Structure 1
Amino acid sequence: MNPIAKLLILMGVVLIVIGLIWQFGGRFLPLGRLPGDIAVEKENVRFYFPIVTCIIISILLSLGSYLFRLFK
């Protein structure tokens, strides 16, 4: 099988697993509503920037990338 096809299949499986964890694990780790996320609500304007959630996702992706390169 073509290596690009294998990579795309693997990426699809990983995305499905992440989506399932996010859907069912969202009750325990409320990503997007963590303390430190910026939320400003005024009369007609609502601004929301999940900075802490972005940092946590970045750390997890960096750790996954490191582990992938370590065991490759």
Structure 2
Amino acid sequence: MTDFGKMLIVIGAILIVIGLLSGIIGKLPGDISFKKGNVSIYFPIMTSILVSIILSIIFIIVSKFR
């Protein structure tokens, strides 16, 4: 299998993991949300940090196998 094919498989697996995690970690403590009338604002700070850590670990593992 070519390197491009392996990279596509890894990217696909990462997207699947992100999709599964987004349903599980929708609103964590530390995420900020405001509601006033019919306007709501949501800042997913902790979710963003957690996704960043998970992606960093995945990319470190993938780079070790290259």
TM-score above 0.5: yes
Number of residues paired by the alignment?
Answer: 65
Percent identity between the two aligned chains: 45
Structure 1 unaligned spans of 5+: none
User: TM-score when scaled to structure 1?
Assistant: 0.66
As a proportion of its length, which structure holds more strand?
2
- Alignment RMSD (CA, Å): 2.4
Q: How big is the shift at 1:71?
A: 4.1
User: TM-score when scaled to structure 2?
Assistant: 0.71
One-letter amino acid of the counterpart of residue 36, structure 1: G
Bigger relative contact order, structure 1 or 2 (CA pairs below 8 A, ≥6 apart): 2
As a proportion of its length, which structure holds more helix?
2
Cα distance 1:55–1:68, how it changes in 2: closer, same or farther (>3 A)?
A: same
Residues in 2 aligned to 1:63 and 1:46: alpha-carbon distance in whole angstroms: 33
